[in-house]
């Protein structure tokens, strides 16, 4: 290590949970720094499957300190539920710390998320409905409630007195009703404060101390580069910065503190929710990727849209994050495909584009220019570990050519190859 970031290189769901868990084997600390419970990180250890939304993916490793940084927005209901689920399965969440500066998702954020989506009608973003956009909006508008506020009755009362009348007015306008009154909300939040008082702390100090003492720290990204509020397919994006730059603001560390930046790249492309997706496949190949890849959202259960790998997206992610390596996931899903296509440019109104444009209308008209290559012959599901033991050189020749092609075009080396859901079904180069 000593410090590494794991970042989604596409529209989320690239397999960051699995790769973070794999890398967490070497980590002393795993830090989430943006997003909220809109994330869905799936980890498979042996026969046990964990679907995490708000907890960092290091939580299933013993002895790892797991940090929810100030840039995350905390859904207390999700947090409670996930902790209870892990504890009921015999896993401890000891070592979990939450930033006193992290904003909290309140019921009005969930209600407003739904109301805003309804008003957008057909032009909706297709949000996860978790209240992410309204919560980040309140944070920026200085109307948020933070984890540390839950520890100080006087402060919390003052904040609720200031913020709640504004939120009630907005809710009235959008015709949604909050079930709680001021006092009920106050006592609920104070109860959460009491419950989590030992884990709410200044996590920037914690993370910097760990880095200073040479500990291995892993920064776990949520969502993906193409969902970034600035650099993604705006307005069909989430409300946080998902690129590596967000580590500094969302974890409270300086820009020189991250040594390696790993992009997690699915061997094909998926996206869930609305918005442009030039290489989307509305045919049998798309259906095959959906079915074989099990492409259903961990958070909402929605079917993901599937398509070919897009090198404009890959280049965008490599540049914006300053990627130093890739982990390529789900190569096994493409086993036994005769031909594989990769988009190398877009044709927009007769013009060739080689960089991902910011204009979503242009993206809707973009026709991908593809290069085609040979697919590879797969193996039986129960042979995966045998393939892993054979190492990189034992992978099918055409699969290695596909990996080399990604490396050549992106100028980023592929260091990890994932060919199954399980922790062990992974090859490190
Ligand atoms: P929000 O983050 O709930 O506001 O949703 C905004 C957009 O981001 C929608 O298209 C969601 O489907 C998408 N999105 C949010 N979180 C994730 C994620 O973790 N994986 C994939 N897509 C996500």
255: CATH: 3.40.440.10
- CA dist 204 and 250 (Å) reads 9
Tokens of 386: 């045998």
Same structural domain for residues 292 and 404? Answer: yes
Asked whether 52 lines ligand 1 (CB < 6 A), one says no
Same structural domain for residues 288 and 415? Answer: yes
- pLDDT, the chain, mean: 96
* β pairing state of 103-104 and 73-74: parallel
Q: What does the pLDDT read at residue 54?
A: 96
Distance 278 CA to ligand 1 centre (A): 18
- CA dist 356 and 318 (Å) reads 12
Tokens of 217: 């720290």
Asked whether 240 lines ligand 1 (CB < 6 A), one says no
Question: Considering the domain boundaries, does residue 208 fall inside one?
Answer: yes
> 141, 174, 196: which is the final residue of a domain?
196
**Dmax over Cα atoms in the chain, in whole Å?**
66
> 172, 196, 220: which is the final residue of a domain?
196
Distance 182 CA to ligand 1 centre (A): 30
**pLDDT tens-place string over residues 164-175:** 999 999 999 999
Same structural domain for residues 213 and 144? Answer: no
Same structural domain for residues 18 and 152? Answer: no
Distance 40 CA to ligand 1 centre (A): 10
Residue range 315-336: mean pLDDT, rounded: 98
Question: Considering the domain boundaries, does residue 362 fall inside one?
Answer: yes
Mutate to test the pocket of ligand 1, among 273, 295, 297 (most ligand atoms within 8 A of CB): 273
Asked whether 227 lines ligand 1 (CB < 6 A), one says yes
Distance 298 CA to ligand 1 centre (A): 11
Mutate to test the pocket of ligand 1, among 73, 128, 235, 266 (most ligand atoms within 8 A of CB): 128
Distance 395 CA to ligand 1 centre (A): 33
Measured CA angle at 105 (ends 99, 107), to 5 deg: 150
What is the value of pTM for the model shown? 0.96
Residues 6+ apart with CB under 8 A from 67: 29, 30, 31, 32, 56, 96, 97, 98, 99, 203, 206, 207, 251
Domain region containing 190: 103-196
**378 pLDDT exceeds 80?**
yes
N-to-C CA span, the chain: 15
- pLDDT tier at 57 (50, 70, 90 boundaries)? very high
Single out the residue of 56, 49, 55, 50 nearest to residue 29, CA to CA: 56
Q: What does the pLDDT read at residue 263?
A: 98
Question: Considering the domain boundaries, does residue 41 fall inside one?
Answer: yes
At residue 329, the 3 state secondary structure works out as strand
Q: Which atom of ligand 1 is nearest to the CA of 274?
A: 10
CATH code for the domain of 141: 1.10.300.10
- CA dist 58 and 30 (Å) reads 6
Q: What does the pLDDT read at residue 41?
A: 87
Q: Report which protein residue has its CA nearest ligand 1's atom 12.
A: 273
**pLDDT: which is higher, 24 or 351:** 351
Asked whether 38 lines ligand 1 (CB < 6 A), one says yes
Same structural domain for residues 366 and 391? Answer: yes
Question: Considering the domain boundaries, does residue 311 fall inside one?
Answer: yes
Asked whether 40 lines ligand 1 (CB < 6 A), one says yes
Residue range 158-167: mean pLDDT, rounded: 98
Residue range 322-349: mean pLDDT, rounded: 98
Q: What does the pLDDT read at residue 1?
A: 62
- pLDDT tier at 381 (50, 70, 90 boundaries)? confident
Question: Considering the domain boundaries, does residue 369 fall inside one?
Answer: yes
* Cα dihedral across residues 160, 253, 17, 265: positive or negative: positive
Asked whether 238 lines ligand 1 (CB < 6 A), one says yes
**352 pLDDT exceeds 90?**
yes
Same structural domain for residues 331 and 366? Answer: yes
> 174, 196, 218: which is the final residue of a domain?
196
The answer to whether residues 160 and 186 touch, using CB atoms and an 8 Å cutoff, is yes
- CA dist 186 and 180 (Å) reads 10
Same structural domain for residues 328 and 180? Answer: no
Same structural domain for residues 172 and 217? Answer: no
Distance 393 CA to ligand 1 centre (A): 37
Question: Considering the domain boundaries, does residue 98 fall inside one?
Answer: no
At residue 316, the 3 state secondary structure works out as helix
Q: What does the pLDDT read at residue 176?
A: 97
**Range name among 45-49, 82-86, 253-257, 366-370 with the lowest pLDDT average:** 45-49
Same structural domain for residues 265 and 192? Answer: no
- pLDDT tier at 350 (50, 70, 90 boundaries)? very high
Give me the number of domains the chain comprises.
Answer: 2
Reply yes or no: is the peptide bond before residue 235 cis, omega within 30 of 0: yes
Asked whether 135 lines ligand 1 (CB < 6 A), one says no
Mutate to test the pocket of ligand 1, among 223, 225, 226, 235 (most ligand atoms within 8 A of CB): 223
Same structural domain for residues 356 and 227? Answer: yes
The percent helix, strand, coil of the chain (3-state, each to 5) is 40, 20, 40
Percent of the chain at pLDDT above 70?
100
Q: What does the pLDDT read at residue 239?
A: 98
Q: What does the pLDDT read at residue 97?
A: 98
Q: What does the pLDDT read at residue 240?
A: 98
**pLDDT tens-place string over residues 197-230:** 999 999 999 999 999 999 999 999 999 999 999 9
Same structural domain for residues 135 and 151? Answer: yes
Q: Which atom of ligand 1 is nearest to the CA of 272?
A: 12
Q: Which atom of ligand 1 is nearest to the CA of 275?
A: 10
Same structural domain for residues 88 and 128? Answer: no
């Amino acid at each position: 290590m000593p410090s590494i970031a794991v970042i989604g290189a596409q529209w989320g769901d690239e397999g960051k949970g699995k790769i973070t868990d794999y890398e967490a084997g070497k980590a002393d600390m795993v830090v989430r720094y943006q997003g909220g419970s809109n994330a869905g990180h799936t980890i498979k250890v042996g026969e046990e499957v964990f679907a995490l939304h708000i907890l960092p993916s290091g939580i299933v490793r013993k002895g790892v300190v797991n940090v929810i940084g100030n840039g995350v927005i905390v859904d207390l209901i999700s947090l409670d539920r996930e902790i209870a689920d892990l504890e009921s399965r015999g896993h401890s969440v000891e070592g979990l710390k939450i930033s006193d500066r992290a904003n909290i998702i309140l019921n009005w954020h969930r209600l407003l998320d739904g109301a805003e989506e309804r008003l957008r009608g057909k032009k909706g973003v297709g949000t996860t409905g978790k209240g992410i956009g309204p919560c980040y909006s309140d944070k920026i508008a200085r109307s948020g409630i933070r984890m540390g506020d839950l520890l100080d009755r006087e402060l919390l009362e003052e904040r609720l007195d200031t913020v709640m009348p504004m939120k009630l007015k907005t809710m009235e306008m959008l015709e949604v009703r909050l079930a709680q009154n001021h006092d009920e909300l106050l006592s609920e939040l104070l109860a959460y404060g009491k419950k989590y008082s030992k884990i709410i702390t200044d996590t920037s100090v914690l993370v910097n101390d760990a880095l200073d003492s040479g500990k291995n720290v892993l920064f776990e990204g949520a969502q993906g580069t193409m969902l970034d509020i600035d650099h993604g397919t705006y307005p069909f994006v989430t409300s946080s910065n998902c690129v590596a730059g967000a580590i500094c603001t969302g974890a409270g560390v300086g820009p020189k503190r991250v040594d390696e930046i790993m992009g997690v790249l699915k061997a094909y492309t998926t996206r869930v929710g609305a918005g442009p997706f030039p290489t989307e496949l509305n045919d049998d190949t798309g259906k095959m990727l959906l079915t074989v890849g099990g492409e259903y959202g961990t958070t909402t259960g929605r079917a993901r849209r599937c398509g070919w790998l897009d090198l404009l997206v890959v280049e965008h992610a490599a540049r914006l994050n300053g990627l130093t390596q890739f982990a390529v996931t789900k190569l096994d899903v493409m086993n036994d495909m005769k031909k594989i296509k990769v988009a190398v440019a877009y044709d927009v109104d007769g013009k060739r584009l080689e960089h991902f444009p910011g204009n979503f209308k242009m993206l809707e008209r973009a026709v991908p220019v593809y290069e085609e290559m040979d697919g590879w012959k797969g193996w039986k599901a129960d042979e995966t570990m045998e393939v892993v033991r054979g190492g990189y050189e034992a992978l099918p020749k055409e699969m290695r050519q596909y990996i080399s092609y990604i490396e050549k075009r992106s100028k980023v080396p592929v260091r990890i190859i994932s060919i199954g859901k399980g922790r062990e079904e992974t090859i490190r180069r």
